Structure 1
Amino acid sequence: MSFKIAIIGAGSVGFTKKLFTDLLCVPEFRDVEVALTDISQHNLEMIKAILDRIIESNGLAVKVTATTERRLALEGAKYVISCVRVGGLEAYADDIRIPLKYGIDQCVGDTICAGGILYGQRNIPVILDFCKDIREVAAPGAKFLNYANPMAMNTWAAIEYGKVDTVGLCHGVQHGAEQIAEVLGAKSVSELDYICSGINHQTWFVDLRLNGRKIGKDELIAAFEAHPVFSQQEKLRIDVLKRFGVYSTESNGHLSEYLPWYRKRPDEIGRWIDMSDWIHGETGGYLRHSTETRNWFETEFPQFLEQASKPVDPAKRSNEHASHILEALETGRVYRGHFNVRNNGVITNLPHDAIIESPGFVDRFGINMVSGITIPEACAATCVASINVQRMSVHAAVTGDIDLLKLAVLHDPLVGAVSTPEEVWQMVDEMVVAQARWLPQYADAVPAAKDRLSRSTVKTRDWAGAARRNVRSIEELRAEKALLKKAV
């Protein structure tokens, strides 16, 4: 088979390498063209060198090109994959830093909450530019696979306003299933059958079967509480499991910032999180992790290039959806996964216009969702609160309506549990002014926002958060990796 795949944001070097090697695990894809594009020439050069080394070492005919000219990369592409972070780590730092001044402590801040909403404001205009290019220069009927967060908002905008065939892809479901398989003592996750349904990062294991046997709430709670690691790392998720009756796909840290109950009091946060790794609830944990990862990759690039000389092993193909979807569409081999699409009645008790994450099957005819799923009422209530925030956020991002943006932030569950309306109005003004270069739709609103900030009487505080850690140096990371290697 010969067709073109474009990857936007290919400068996300580690993730692009994973997607590329996954594609190479499909025998029919050994002659495809992969076009890489990014705004960073430096990152493009790094990932191009790695992928060229993989091709050379494995004797493949795959063609890889790299360009900062996005339309050139998209020209004739049958599939377009996006993994962009608009504003990079600089803007992301403001997503964490500014809300902290108003008492809002986020672990990740890339889905909803104050940080995720502003992240969506930066991403959506760019996503719509991608969609325009796809309509104009990609192959007719090209499919857009979005990996970028905020997943639901980006996918919502691409479908409703971009008018492109779009599916959102995440790996939260797979990671949650791996945890459940482990606590239940399964030899492999393949022994576990499950249905997850909800919205991205708030998806719920509504049906669980281990080797065909249905797993109930009490058995699952007991299994998690008996696990020596997860019982400490996932305290909040276990508490939600006890109260809601079903397990959430999302990590302890992620889930904590989508709900109004666990991060609203600084002295309570430590009770629900675990500091053994960033993902379990650390303040700004993903920002720290992302910064360390970037610094490590820049320093250790020769090592990564050397590793690219190893043979591609199909047995090590990852569980990221992209390659499996393309394989099913192109070969007809059926693939089952959990996908982010417009609801349209798939989940009976969530709004029709929402972007839901739910099971589907892929074959030559496309992505076919399993319809008629009803999720537990408590799960639906939690999802609907986020959906309302997402809807307002998307419409604000498209129209540049700063008042609607403030209302979206005001209705966010955690923000509403922590901040007053006056604080929210000032915080949004401050975030829009700080990120103005990435928010062209708010250009006309920035001068008035600056004026309001100059006259504001709302007090803020200089606060690092309830559980903040400093970014580690390369030397510290090397020492830690050496200790881990010695322990093994």
Structure 2
Amino acid sequence: MSFKIAIIGAGSVGFTKKLFTDILCVPEFKDIEFALTDVSEHNLQMIKAILDRIVEANRLPTRVTATADRRKALEGARYVISCVRVGGLEAYADDIRIPLKYGIDQCVGDTICAGGILYGQRNIPVILDFCKDIREVAETNVKFLNYANPMAMNTWAAIEYGKVDTVGLCHGVQHGAEQIAEVLGAKSTQELDYVCSGINHQTWFIDLRLNGRPIGKDELVAAFEAHPVYSQQEKLRIDVLKRFGVYSTESNGHLSEYLPWYRKRPDEITRWIDMSDWIHGETGGYLRYSTETRNWFETEYPQFLEAASKPIDRAKRSNEHASHILEALETNRVYRGHFNVKNNGVITNLPQDAIIESPGFVDRFGINMAAGITLPEACAATCIASINVQRMSVHAAISGDIDLLKLAVLHDPLVGAVSTPEEVWQMVDEMVVAQAAWLPQYAHAVPAARERLSTSQVKTREWAGAARRSVRSIEELRAEKAALKQAG
């Protein structure tokens, strides 16, 4: 087979390498072309050197090109994969820093909440630019695979306004299934059957079976509470399981910021989170992790390049959906996964226009969703609150309506539990002014926002958050990795 895959945001070096090696685990795909594009020429050349080394080491005819010219990369592409972060870590730092001044403590801030909403405002105009280029220069029946957050908002915009065949992809379901299999004593997730449905980062294991035997709430609660690690790291997640009756796919830290109950007071935050790793609820945890990862990669790049000389091990193909979807579409080997698509009746008690994440099957005819799923009422209620925020956020990003943007932030569950309307109005003004370089649709609103900020009487505070850790130096990371290696 010979076709072209374009990867936008290919400078996300580690993730691009994973997708690349996964796809080349499919024997029929050895003769394809990967076209890499990114706004960072530096990152683009680093990832191209790594992928070229993999191709050379495995003696493959695979072609790898790299260009900052996005349209050139998209020309003739059958598949387009996006893993962009518009504004990079600079804008992301404001997504965390500014809301903290108003008492809003986020662990990740990339889905909803104040940070996720502004992240969507930066991404959506760029996503629509991608879609325009895709429609004009890619293959006629091109498929757009979006990995970029905020997943639901980006996918919503690409489908509804970009008019491109789009599917959103995430790995939260797979990670949740791995945890469940472990606490139940399964040898692998192959022993586990499940239906997991909802919206991205708020998906629920509504039907769970181990070797065909149904697993109920009480058994699952007992299994998690008996686990020596998860009982401490996933306290909030276990509490939601007890109250809702089903387990959420999302990590302790992620889940905490989508609900209005667990992060609204500093003492509650420290009660429910765990500081053993960023993903369990640390203030700005993913920002710290991302910063450390970038610094580590820049310093240790020669080692990454050397590691690329090893043969591809097909047994280590990851559970990221992309390679499996492409394999199913091109070879007709059926794949079952969980995909982000427009609802259109798939989940009976969620809005029809929402982007849902639910099970589907892929073959040569496309992605075929399992329809007629009904969520438990509490799960549906939680999802609908987020969907309403997502819908307003998408419409605000498209229209550049700063008042609608403020209403979207005001209706966010965690923001509403913490901040007053006056605080929300000022916070959004502050974020739009700080991020104006990445928000062209709000250019007309920036002067007035800046003027309001100069005369505002709303008080703020400089606050690091309830559970903030400092970014570790390269030396600290090396020492930690060496200690873990010695212990293991």
> Which TM bucket (shorter chain)?
over 0.9
Match of 1:105 in 2: 105
Match of 2:357 in 1: 357
Q: Which amino acid aligns with 2:231?
A: S
CA shift, 1:268, in A, is: 1.3
Q: Which amino acid aligns with 1:161?
A: Y
Distance 1:106 1:90 in 2: 16
CA shift, 1:267, in A, is: 1.3
Partner SS state of residue 300, structure 1: helix
Match of 2:3 in 1: 3
Find out whether 1:324 has 2:286 as its counterpart: no
Distance 2:81 2:337 in 1: 17
Q: Which amino acid aligns with 2:302?
A: P
Partner SS state of residue 91, structure 2: helix
Match of 1:180 in 2: 180
Partner SS state of residue 107, structure 1: coil
Distance 1:190 1:400 in 2: 47
Match of 1:220 in 2: 220
Partner SS state of residue 368, structure 2: strand
Q: Which amino acid aligns with 1:245?
A: G
CA shift, 1:437, in A, is: 0.3
Distance 2:480 2:322 in 1: 33
CA shift, 1:364, in A, is: 0.2
Distance 1:141 1:134 in 2: 10
Distance 1:268 1:234 in 2: 14
Q: Aligned runs of 1:52-91 on 2, under 5 Å?
A: 52-91=52-91
Match of 1:154 in 2: 154
Distance 1:151 1:268 in 2: 28
Distance 2:268 2:180 in 1: 27
Find out whether 1:477 has 2:477 as its counterpart: yes
Partner SS state of residue 195, structure 2: strand
CA shift, 1:141, in A, is: 1.3
Match of 1:252 in 2: 252
Find out whether 1:20 has 2:23 as its counterpart: no
Q: Aligned runs of 1:38-49 on 2, under 5 Å?
A: 38-49=38-49
CA shift, 1:138, in A, is: 0.4
Match of 1:335 in 2: 335
Distance 1:267 1:201 in 2: 25
Match of 1:122 in 2: 122
Q: Which amino acid aligns with 1:49?
A: A
Distance 2:368 2:411 in 1: 33
Q: Can you list the C-alpha shifts for 1:206-238, whole angstroms capped at 9, x where unaligned?
A: 000000000000000000000000000000000
Match of 1:236 in 2: 236
Match of 1:312 in 2: 312
CA shift, 1:425, in A, is: 0.1
Partner SS state of residue 324, structure 2: helix
Find out whether 1:424 has 2:427 as its counterpart: no
Distance 2:165 2:51 in 1: 28
Q: Which amino acid aligns with 1:454?
A: S
Q: Which amino acid aligns with 2:282?
A: E
Partner SS state of residue 144, structure 1: strand
Q: Can you list the C-alpha shifts for 1:194-215, whole angstroms capped at 9, x where unaligned?
A: 0000000000000000000000
Q: Which amino acid aligns with 2:468?
A: R
Q: Which amino acid aligns with 1:470?
A: S
Distance 2:233 2:185 in 1: 18
Q: Can you list the C-alpha shifts for 1:35-90, whole angstroms capped at 9, x where unaligned?
A: 00000000000000000000000000000000000000000000000000000000
Distance 1:262 1:428 in 2: 23
Match of 2:261 in 1: 261
Partner SS state of residue 457, structure 2: coil
Distance 2:20 2:128 in 1: 25
Moved over 2 A (4+): none
Distance 1:481 1:464 in 2: 27
Find out whether 1:291 has 2:291 as its counterpart: yes
Partner SS state of residue 110, structure 1: coil
Distance 2:55 2:355 in 1: 37
Distance 1:410 1:403 in 2: 10
Partner SS state of residue 373, structure 1: coil
Distance 2:110 2:307 in 1: 31
Match of 1:144 in 2: 144
Q: Which amino acid aligns with 2:66?
A: A
Number of aligned residue pairs:
488
Q: Can you list the C-alpha shifts for 1:111-161, whole angstroms capped at 9, x where unaligned?
A: 000000000000000000000000000010100000000000000000000
Partner SS state of residue 65, structure 2: strand
Distance 1:268 1:181 in 2: 29
Q: Can you list the C-alpha shifts for 1:251-281, whole angstroms capped at 9, x where unaligned?
A: 0000000000000011111110000000000
Match of 1:441 in 2: 441
Match of 1:132 in 2: 132
Distance 1:455 1:241 in 2: 46
Distance 2:79 2:461 in 1: 47
Q: TM-score, normalised by structure 1?
A: 1.00
Partner SS state of residue 324, structure 1: helix
Partner SS state of residue 336, structure 1: strand
Distance 2:292 2:188 in 1: 32
Match of 1:276 in 2: 276
Partner SS state of residue 247, structure 2: coil
CA shift, 1:173, in A, is: 0.1
Distance 1:79 1:267 in 2: 47
Distance 2:453 2:62 in 1: 54
Distance 1:76 1:303 in 2: 34
Match of 2:36 in 1: 36
Distance 1:270 1:210 in 2: 34
Distance 2:27 2:366 in 1: 20
Distance 2:293 2:402 in 1: 34
Q: Can you list the C-alpha shifts for 1:438-482, whole angstroms capped at 9, x where unaligned?
A: 000000000000000001000000000000000000000000000
CA shift, 1:353, in A, is: 0.1
Which runs of 5 or more residues in structure 2 are unaligned? none
